[in-house]
Amino acid sequence: MSRPSQRDLTGQESLSIDQEIAALLNEIEREKVPDRLTKLAIELQNALIQKRRCAPQD
């Protein structure tokens, strides 16, 4: 059997992190929270979306 390359592991780790971030953002959206925290969460979500748009595709 061949071992996955370091690049493959990095891609898998990145996907896992993206899934974790998405899950956390979904949880944040479900919680009743102060307006300031909601605003910060939306800003974080927008920044992550922008990062994904600028990230090079493999």
Give 34-57 pLDDT, tens digit per residue.
Answer: 889 889 989 999 999 998 888 776
CA distance 49 to 54: 9
Say if residue 49 is exposed, middle or buried (CB neighbours under 10 Å; 0-12, 13-18, 19+).
Answer: exposed
Distances 51 to 18, 32, 42, 43, 55 between C-alpha atoms, Å: 11, 27, 14, 12, 6
Place 31 in a pLDDT band, splitting at 50, 70 and 90. confident
Structure tokens at 34: 């102060």
